[in-house]
Amino acid sequence: MKSFLSETLETVLMALVIFLVLQASVQNFRVEGASMKPTLDAGEYLLVDKATYLSLPLGEAKRVLPMLPINRDQVVYPFPAPERGTVIVFKFPGDPHRFFVKRIIGVPGDTLEIRNGQVRINGAPLTEPYLEQPGSSDMKPVTVPQDHFFV
């Protein structure tokens, strides 16, 4: 009887650990709208790996251990940071309950502008083979701050 209880407890604990790891590292999202066409269509579901682009803000470490030679605003990525062309899911700044699915086109330090619908990064036109049709808008130059991305 004792071995049955210990085996059951071990199985339940292992299932709980697996569940918690999956909850922390994978999440599903539904694509809304047509802004990512033709790559993603409205209504499609995505499984997103949340662990790959985990960021660790070092401000708390600096507060607890002030002797560390780090910048309070510095963010570290345990894995490679996201790069241009990567499709990401992020919380909408105006409503943290909404999530957006977008493609990164600007990385920290880039200067972006749009002239007659053509995105230019650091003065060079961005090749966007995923666009069905070019836009026609304009945007004055902006520089992407450290630890930020332009989507």
3-state secondary structure of 125: strand
Q: Is pLDDT of 17 > 90?
A: yes
Kindly indicate the confidence band of residue 138, based on its pLDDT and cuts at 50, 70 and 90: very high
pLDDT band for position 49 (cuts 50, 70, 90): confident
Which residues in 97-118 are b (16+ Cβ under 10 Å) and which e?
A: eeebbebbbbbeebebebeeee
Among 32-41, 50-59, 62-71, 141-150, the minimum mean pLDDT is found in 62-71
Residue recorded with tokens 């030679």? 69
Residue 62 confidence (pLDDT) above 70: no
pLDDT in the model for residue 136: 85
Tell me the pLDDT tens digit for each residue of 84-99: 999 988 888 889 888 8
Is residue 3 scored above 70 in pLDDT? yes
In terms of C-beta density within 10 A (0-12 exposed, 13-18 middle, 19 or more buried), how is residue 146 classed?
exposed
Longest dimension (CA), the chain: 76
Q: Catalytic residue positions?
A: 35, 102
